[in-house]
Amino acid sequence: MKNVFGFLISVALGIFIILALANTDAFPAFGDVDLTERISNAYLDINNVEQVGSANLVTAIVVGYRGFDTLGEVTVLFISALGVAFIFGGVKQKRLDLDFKPNFMLRVGSNILFGIILVTSFYIILHGHLTPGGGFPGGAIIASAVLLLYLADDRFRSNVKGFKVLEGVAGSIFVVIGLLGLVFATAFLENFLPAGTVGNLISAGIIPVIYVLIGLKVGSEIAGIVDNFLTEEESA
């Protein structure tokens, strides 16, 4: 009964959405859009690319033109991490016991691999304005390194407090940089550093700085979620 009801609701909602979107001016028919009038065309303009200075166009849009959206995106991740911590967190936590006992080779090997994975993630974060990648994938790689240690080392427990401090500091500096844009330039999160040459490591103004902050924030948030899932409240 419940399933039938849910099915009917979703079908009705789908018909409603289709009817609401058809024949309106806000959503022209497929193929009728003139792309030269759209704002995305301005993002592809070579003059604008040189003004932003980011070789990776996706990064130029995500952090350069739409930095405020990215701030919201980071906030969404923060809130979801907060929700997980609200449900799974507690005062005294101990890590879950693994079903198997990792042997010596697995433990030591993963500890060595941890460093290499961190190097890779920082490379991806630092080159976010030059190559595909950036703060979000780099942060996810940091968290995956933490997850690897959790699974391969039965005594490992991540420094949760350090992660929380790192996350808060990175998020605050992100907002402070946005406010500095308001001070030195005209708008929130506007680029106030020189753009430099396209393709250099130190270029694109505040984009690499913000991406490093996003990488640290995303990495510590997802590592915190991993920690929340792999710990349980200590039975008193």
Residues that bind other proteins (CB under 8 A): 100, 102-103, 105-106, 109-110, 112-113, 116, 119-120, 152
Beta-bridge mates of residue 231: 95
**Measured from the CB atom, is 116 or 182 closer to other proteins?**
116
Closest contact distance (angstroms) between CB of 112 and other proteins is 6
**Measured from the CB atom, is 30 or 100 closer to other proteins?**
100
**Measured from the CB atom, is 60 or 152 closer to other proteins?**
152
Closest contact distance (angstroms) between CB of 109 and other proteins is 3
Residue 89: both structure tokens together? 């967190």
Closest contact distance (angstroms) between CB of 75 and other proteins is 34
**Measured from the CB atom, is 98 or 187 closer to other proteins?**
98
**Measured from the CB atom, is 75 or 103 closer to other proteins?**
103
Closest contact distance (angstroms) between CB of 167 and other proteins is 27
Closest contact distance (angstroms) between CB of 141 and other proteins is 12
Greatest Cα-to-Cα distance within the chain, rounded to the nearest angstrom: 66
- Distance, in Å, from the CA atom of 74 to the CA atom of 21, rounded to the nearest integer, reads 30
Closest contact distance (angstroms) between CB of 161 and other proteins is 30
Residue 233 phi/psi, 5-degree rounding, is -70, 135
**Measured from the CB atom, is 43 or 122 closer to other proteins?**
122
